Amino acid sequence: MKHNEKRRSVLKNIGMGMAGLFGVATVKAASPKSKKEVVGKIVEDQNMPLFSGAVRHGNTLYIAGKGAHFDGDIKAHTDHVLNELQKELERNGSSMEQVLKVNVYLADLADYSKMNEVYRGRFGENPPVRTTVATYGGVPGNSLVEIDCIAAVD
């Protein structure tokens, strides 16, 4: 090991020890051998990749927001979106029960209770952590709800 590499290693270990001493959590970086794998459709805008529908990195699956782009009420939209998430999860070796984190975006916060009626129980007995927000100006594509998630993959 070269002198500079050894010095960096020592400084890194000291820094991590100090972080622990002061109660600061440290996060181990992803292995350089692990690679992001696009497993869902890539959405393009003007012939340029805009975003991926799903990406797998190691044993974690990230699914882009799903919306409901048809006439209907919040219950119909929520049911449709959750069914689409479930299909994407299963297509990529995961399941609703393996979802770790969910973000729910509502076009109108007044729909919160009705959305929850459909949402409740869809992720099994141990639901994931969740953030729910009402969007300013609505959800793209005139959906009443959009949901994205992060899940574990076997």
Query: Do residues 25 and 53 both lie within one domain?
Result: no
Write out pLDDT tens, residues 96-131. Answer: 999 999 999 999 999 999 999 999 999 999 999 999
> What domain count does the chain have?
2
Query: Do residues 130 and 65 both lie within one domain?
Result: yes
Query: Do residues 83 and 103 both lie within one domain?
Result: yes
Task: Report pTM.
Answer: 0.73
56 vs 27, higher pLDDT: 56
36 vs 139, higher pLDDT: 139
Which CATH number does the domain housing residue 108 bear?
Answer: 3.30.1330.40
Q: What percent of the chain has a predicted confidence (pLDDT) above 70?
A: 72
- Grouping H, G, I as helix, E, B as strand and the rest as coil, residue 25 is coil
Q: Cβ contacts of residue 146 below 8 Å, gap of 6+?
A: 65, 66, 67, 81, 104, 105, 139, 140
| Other Cβ atoms closer than 10 A to 144 | 23
